[in-house]
Amino acid sequence: MDRVAHRVFGDSPPLKWHTVDSADVCNQMVSSGLGITLMPDFTIDGTESGALAFRPIADVETVIRMVMLRRRGARLTPSAQTLFDQLRVQAEQRSSRV
């Protein structure tokens, strides 16, 4: 998200900012009143809370590419196959919206 912040703020970044690696930590910091956060939408699904407000950034240029890797020819466990299938369906749905 650091690159996204640079795109959003350009040459005028906030005077103070922090970078963390955990969506939970971001939520806790915002809930504590430390400021705002930039997070991918998939990190907030199902975490709606009366204490936090979620606002999408309307920016068609900001793209975050994620990949799922698996070993070629390896058989996945049923749970891993289900996860793989669900992620593929979500990716196809998101790409059809663009």
* Residues 59 and 75 reside in one and the same domain: no
Q: What's the number of domains the chain is made of?
A: 2
Give the Å distances, CA to CA, from 47 to 27, 70, 88: 9, 29, 22
Shared domain for 34 and 76, answered yes or no, is: no
Nearest to 38 by CA among 66, 6, 65, 11: 6
Is residue 4 domain-shared with residue 16, that is, in the same domain? yes
Domain enclosing residue 79, as ranges: 66-98
Shared-domain flag, residues 52 and 98: no
Residues 54 and 23 in one domain: yes
Is the same domain home to 57 and 72?
A: no
Q: Is the pTM value of this prediction over 0.95?
A: no
Q: What is the mean pLDDT of residues 61-86?
A: 80
The pLDDT tens digits for 14-72 are 777 778 888 888 888 888 888 888 877 777 655 555 677 777 777 666 666 667 777 78
Distances (CA, A) of 49 to 23, 26, 54, 92, 98: 14, 14, 9, 28, 28
Smallest Cα–Cα separation from 53: which of 36, 65, 76?
A: 36
37-50: pLDDT as tens digits = 887 777 765 555 56
